[in-house]
Amino acid sequence: MPPDAVVLTVPGPFGERQVRLSSPERVLFPDLGITKRELAEYLINVGGAFVFANGGRALSVPRF
């Protein structure tokens, strides 16, 4: 695992999973100062409601 990588716990329908996130401090949206870790944590927090609101359809996030 890269030295700056972190492990996040992600809830799911079959229990929690551990997900490795490399370069968590990389800024993805410079105008807003949002980092890769902040985006991942946001998606973890709203993921369940977001999927429910979209009728259970799959979601993909483009890689940067």
Q: How many domains does the chain have?
A: 1
Is 11 inside any structural domain?
Answer: yes
pLDDT of residue 64: 62
pLDDT by residue, tens only, the chain of 64 residues: 677 899 999 988 899 999 999 999 999 999 999 999 999 999 999 988 888 888 878 777 776 6
DSSP letters for 1-64: --TT-EEEEE--TT--EEEEESSTT-EEETTTTEEHHHHHHHHHHHHHHHHHHTTT--------
Is 15 inside any structural domain?
Answer: yes
Is 64 inside any structural domain?
Answer: no
pTM of the model: 0.77
Q: Which domain holds residue 32?
A: 6-53
Is 63 inside any structural domain?
Answer: no
